[in-house]
Amino acid sequence: MSPRPELIPVREIVRLGLLAGPRLVAAQFALTLLAGLLPLGGIVAMRLLVDAVAAGPAATLRPLGEAVAIASAIALLGVLVGALSGYVGDRHGRVVADRCAERLLERAAGLDLVQLEDPTVLDLLQRAGSELATRPARIVAELAALLLAAVTLLAMGTTLALLDPLLVAVVASAALPAVLLRVRHARRAYEWQKGSVGAQRELGYVSGVIASRAAAKELRAAGWAPRWLARARGLRDTLRGEQLALARARSRDELLGQALAVLALFFAYATLGARALEGAFGVGAFVMYAQAVQRTQNGVRDLVGSLAALGEQRQFLGAWHELTGLAGRIEGAAQAREGMPPRGAVIECRGLRYAYPGTGPVLDGLDLVLQPGEHVALVGKNGCGKSTLVRLLARLDDPASGGIRVGGRDLRELALADWRAQLAVLFQDAVPLDATLRENLAPEAPPEAATAAPPAAAHDDAALHAALSLVGLGRLELVAMLGRRFANGVELSAGEWRRVLLARALVRPASCFVLDEPTAFLDHATVRELALRLRERLRGATLLIVEQRPEMLAFVDRICVMEGGRIVDEGSPAELAARDGPYRRLFGPPTRP
């Protein structure tokens, strides 16, 4: 369970503020402290100025000149401090926002696939990321404003208390209703934000579908647009109505709080005026104390406002706290006890059972052994668990029971990065990238890889060109921008994109290749030619291919037929074609080489 939202802000605000580094934090703290003390000097200078003028024509001009000089110096210093504080605060906020964005992406990249399929985690990411560009900077600004209000209030309240502590009590107590009302509103706003995050995420999805290029064909050809526009409009109307109800309550509360503050202010003015008429102090002191009253009340108001504003950040802070404390289960468990087994080791799947949330078993006691260098095809009807097995082999999730062993070692005992370095996977729903062809083929390489030393770059480019030639795309340039999202992008057909994604897997220096539907969208002639090239390219490597095309199945060493989450038949293509069994019921005799 996450901590109560009310307990999060102070600790999380400090952590957020320190993301920018101690020097920047110290600079902002010093400037804010100075900005809070300058008003005290300002009201003292104003007292000197008023007293000099009140002395009348008989007085010398020297006191007036000194008072003007002091007041001017303090005002100019305030302008300088304000400018520096604004720059430092802006820089601090931007750095914190960037650091938060980096950590959010790092945390999201470290979550398990099953976590990213969990609506609760998706809601958490929505809450933490919806205002990531502005919220951290606002929190830093509110923290600085809180410090400034506290220093100003301390300076002005002390000045006023030396005259009459009752005035401080009256001015401060008038702010108490505003405090309680703001706190109540902040709690309501937080609960609304937390409760409406699902609707906000749904609105984001619906808006994305309407504006996306991927859905543009169906929206236009099938006439979906009106229905989806109406859905988006309904969600916006609901969210807007709830927000307006909160705004009305907040305006009513603020009106009451401000009315009490005004009454307290003029009570203080009346008290000061009465004392001045009694001769307790002169005109300059009256002006000074009157300003102290006003600035004290402003300090209370700003302090309360900053506290309430920080309280209202609980939507972000609470989600941020939960998200940064969320660890990937698989990532955390993958601590190697010993070194990796040698490349090309036997891979054994024994008694694998797995079920997605809310469904029955997808894998139900599956047994499969992949010998080093063996090429195995996995076939079966949709939903029998083929892609789920691919998911488990890539260690994107762990089975509910049973296990996978590599070279006799349980996969869960191997370092995750080391295992995946030996594995090349083409997923059924592999993602094409709106990026250059080189970046599509090697998306895991850092950006600086493109500017590596010439020998390394030449070797990498040779491997990329070889993979492209193998899948029949040797004509494409590595620097070509693919997709239409960015300028000068080249659009590929569905079959060409699939071949690019296959080349992405083939270019990896892996000992085991797992290819899920690699020939989707390809014509029969291309599939047959590709099958011959793949057999030669992957000679000596272990291959598990999920395939439905007879042209590909004719060239593997063994075919395994899946039904009901387990292997129900297996053998060479010739053996399965020769007997009446599950394979013949699926395909009939395979195409001969």
Show the 3-state SS of 153-222.
Answer: HHHHHHHHHHHCHHHHHHHHHCCHHHHHHHHHHHHHHHHHHHHHHHHHHHHHHHHHHHHCCCCHHHHHHC
> In the predicted model, is pLDDT for residue 335 greater than 60?
no
Average pLDDT over residues 98-124: 83
Q: What average pLDDT score do residues 511-516 get?
A: 95
| Residue written as token pair 């309280």 | 311
> Span 475-500, mean pLDDT?
89
Which is more confident, 40 or 522?
522
User: Given this model, what pLDDT does residue 448 score?
Assistant: 46
Residues of the chain with pLDDT > 70, as a percent, come to 89
Residue 593: pLDDT over 50: no
Query: In the Cβ-directed half-sphere of 119, how many Cα atoms lie within 13 Å?
Result: 8
Least confident of 14-18, 87-91, 242-246, 430-434: 14-18
Residues 6+ apart with CB under 8 A from 544: 370, 376, 377, 378, 390, 393, 512, 513, 514, 515
More confident residue, 510 or 128: 510
Asked if the model's pLDDT at residue 7 lies above 50, the reply is no
Q: Which tens digits make up the pLDDT trace of 260-287?
A: 777 777 777 787 777 777 777 777 777 7
Please report the pLDDT score of residue 32 as a whole number: 80
Under the banding of pLDDT at 50, 70 and 90, the label for residue 415 is confident
Residue 387, number of CB atoms within 10 A of its CB: 17
Q: Are 298 and 176 in contact (CB under 8 A)?
A: no
In this prediction, residue 449 carries a pLDDT of 43
CA neighbor of 46 nearest in space, from 299, 293, 289: 289
Check whether 333 has a pLDDT greater than 60: no
Mean pLDDT of the chain: 81
Q: Label residue 165 exposed, middle or buried (CB < 10 Å: 0-12, 13-18, 19+).
A: exposed
Query: How far apart, in whole angstroms, are the C-alpha atoms of residue 289 and residue 284?
Result: 9
pLDDT at 403 over 80: yes
Instruction: Tell whether 450 and 496 lie within a shared domain.
Output: yes
In the structure, what pLDDT confidence band is assigned to residue 2 with cuts at 50, 70 and 90? Answer: very low
Residue 126 lies in a domain: yes
Q: Which residues contact 116 (CB under 8 A, 6 or more apart)?
A: 108, 122
pLDDT score of 30 = 85
- Find the mean pLDDT for residues 96-120: 82
Q: Kindly state whether residues 62 and 35 are assigned to the same domain.
A: yes
Q: How far apart are CA 198 and CA 216, in angstroms?
A: 25
User: Are 460 and 370 contained in the same domain?
Assistant: no
Give how many domains the chain has, as a whole number.
3
Regarding whether 405 and 273 lie in a shared domain, the answer is no
Indicate if 169 and 288 belong to the same structural domain.
yes
**428, 517 Cβ separation under 8 angstroms:** yes
Confirm whether 223 is domain-assigned: no
Give Cα separations from 144 to 128, 149, 159, 302 (angstroms): 22, 9, 23, 11
Give the helix/strand (H/E) hosting 562: strand 558-563
Q: Find where tokens 């070279």 sit.
A: 407
What pLDDT score does 503 carry? 94
Q: Out of 378-382, 519-523, 575-579, 588-592, pick the least confident.
A: 588-592
Give the pLDDT confidence score for residue 312 in this predicted structure: 66
Is 153 found in the same domain as 10?
Answer: yes
- Say if residue 286 is in the same domain as residue 417: no
Cα(412)–Cα(65) distance, integer angstroms:
81
Task: Assess if residue 198 is contained within a domain.
Answer: no
Instruction: Write out pLDDT tens, residues 299-321.
Output: 777 777 777 777 666 666 677 77
Using the 3D structure, point to which of 329, 357, 386 is the last residue of a domain: 329
Name the phi and psi angles at 356, rounded to 5. -80, 155
**Do 583 and 460 sit in the same domain of this protein?**
no
415 shares its domain with 368: yes
Range(s) of the domain holding residue 447? 430-509
Whether residue 450 sits in one domain with residue 416: no
Q: Is 588 helix (H, G, I), strand (E, B) or coil?
A: coil
pLDDT at 458: 42
- Nearest C-alpha neighbor of 73 from the set 54, 48, 53: 48
Task: List beta partners, residue 366.
Answer: 352
Better pLDDT: 196 or 425 = 425
Query: What token pair was written down for 457?
Result: 């770059």
Q: Is residue 343's pLDDT more than 60?
A: yes
303 and 403 fall within a common domain: no
In 408-428, which positions are buried (b, 16+ CB within 10 angstroms) versus exposed (e)?
A: ebebbbbebeebbebbbbbbe
Backbone angles phi and psi of 395, in degrees to 5: 55, 40
Residue 262 burial by Cβ neighbours in a 10 Å radius (0-12, 13-18, 19+): exposed
Q: For residue 396, give the 3-state DSSP assignment.
A: coil
Sign of torsion, CA 462 467 470 474? negative
**244 in a domain, yes or no?**
no
Query: Does the pLDDT at position 562 exceed 60?
Result: yes
Query: Do 183 and 108 share a structural domain?
Result: yes
pLDDT of amino acid 381: 92
pLDDT of residue 113: 84
Res 386: pLDDT:
94
Say how far apart CA 404 and CA 207 lie, in whole Å: 42
How far is Cα of residue 378 from the mean position of the Cα atoms in its chain?
37
Residue 301 and residue 175 in contact, taking contact as beta carbons nearer than 8 Å: yes
Q: Could you tell me the pLDDT band of residue 188, with boundaries at 50, 70 and 90? A: confident
**What are phi and psi for residue 474, nearest 5 degrees?**
-65, -15
Indicate whether this model's pTM tops 0.85: no
What's the pLDDT at 378? 96
